[in-house]
Amino acid sequence: MALGEFDLIKKYFTSFDKGEGISLGIGDDCALLDCPLGKKLAITTDTQIEGVHFFRGTSPFLIGYKSLLVNVSDLAAMGAVPYCFTLSLTLPDADENFLSEFSKGLFSLAKKLKMPLIGGNTTKGELSITICAYGLVDGDNAMKRQNAKVGDSLFVTGTLGLPGLAVEAGYKRFSMSKEDFDSCIEKSMLIEDRTEFASMISSYSKCAIDISDGLVGDLNHILKMSDVGCDLYIDKLPKPEEFSKFHVNEDLSDRLCLYGGCDYELLFTCSEENEQNIASIADTCKVKVTKIGQINNGSLNLLKHGKMHRLNEKSFEHF
């Protein structure tokens, strides 16, 4: 006999510890949360939809992991330490296999980050996952988009462009074997979270964003809100080893790094005097960090080997 909604939720989503500071977790009308003195609560929400954010038939484990990761990535962009999250899950039917694998992926990240699930709901409909994630941050240390200063260096964590390549391959605009495609999808979804690194650099960096819409699109959010420009060094963009393995040509690999999106890496600025601190923290956290630009008082210039490069693609928009 199929389990009812309430039983299914209980089976797959309440096994996790309630967590410190959570006065009341799942099972009542609301969760009740403490907010420690001097801290601010950082709140973010993101939705993942089948056919928009992941291909139909993607492993439920990967979907579960990534649904939380994209939210955790926003916490990192603020320098917030993960606290807890809520889950709103819309499913065409109460598929136990899906729920089992999905919850495994979700909780593999939640447990690593000690983020309990404190509430949520399930509804019948097209597969869609909305998560709200909560973090704690010292008010003064929150990294805001509006804080880039002329002269700051621009850094990015990890590599860019692999999720973009996976999408190209998924739409058959780039050819690779089924095995390579699966491996690309997995790496593009099991993205490492940057929360520890981000919370440590928040004493030295005042401005960060996570890359979801593509490097150029998200950099533009910083530039607009800080009222500055940026020299962006295209030849310095950190590319994944897969680009050479799959013989991605230079033009495509540049475009994937600049506009591909879904990288969920951290883009942040830092004044010259703090660059050494950033390098030390990167070393401690074993996070690859690359300097890819410098904030100016003009506009966004794409430079390649010191020469201007024409900007002619828009950031990804859903509509």
Q: Which residues of the shown chain bind a copy of itself in the complex (CB under 8 A)?
A: 2, 4-6, 8, 23-24, 27-35, 37, 40-47, 49, 51-53, 74-75, 77-78, 80, 86, 88, 90, 93-94, 118-126, 128, 130, 132, 134-135, 137, 139, 142, 144-146, 208-210, 225, 317-319
Q: How far is the CB of 222 from a copy of itself (least distance, A)?
A: 10
Show the CA angle centred on residue 39, arms to residues 269 and 133, nearest 5°. Answer: 75
Tokens of 176: 């690779």
231 vs 263, beta carbon nearer a copy of itself: 263
The strand pair at 81-91 and 117-124 is best described as parallel
Q: Cα–Cα distance between 12 and 301 in angstroms, integer?
A: 49
Q: Find the shortest distance in angstroms from Cβ 28 to a copy of itself.
A: 5
b/e string for 97-109 if b means 16 or more Cβ within 10 A? ebbebbbebbbeb
Nearest-5° Cα angle at 296, 313 to 146: 80
DSSP, res 54:
B
* Between 77 and 234, CB nearer to a copy of itself: 77
Q: Are strands 266-270 and 153-157 parallel, antiparallel or unpaired?
A: antiparallel
Answer yes or no: are the C-beta atoms of 217 and 286 closer than 8 Å.
Answer: no
Q: Using the minimum distance from each CB to a copy of itself, give the nearer residue, 27 or 151.
A: 27
Tell me the three state secondary structure of residue 76: helix
Residue 166 beta carbon to a copy of itself: minimum distance, rounded to whole angstroms: 19
Closest distance of CB 137 from a copy of itself, Å: 7
The pair of three-digit structure tokens given for residue 102, joined into one six-digit string = 């999905």
Beta bridge partners of 85: 117, 133
CB 38 within 8 A of CB 96: no
Other residues' Cβ atoms within 10 Å of the Cβ of residue 14: 12
CB of 91 to a copy of itself, least distance (A): 8
Nearer to a copy of itself, 33 or 303 (CB): 33
First to last CA, the chain: 42
Residue (61 or 134) nearer to a copy of itself, CB:
134
Smallest separation, CB 242 to a copy of itself (Å): 27
When the beta carbons of 123 and 280 are compared against a copy of itself, the nearer one is 123
**CB closer to a copy of itself, 44 vs 253:** 44
Residue 249 C-beta: closest distance to a copy of itself, Å? 30
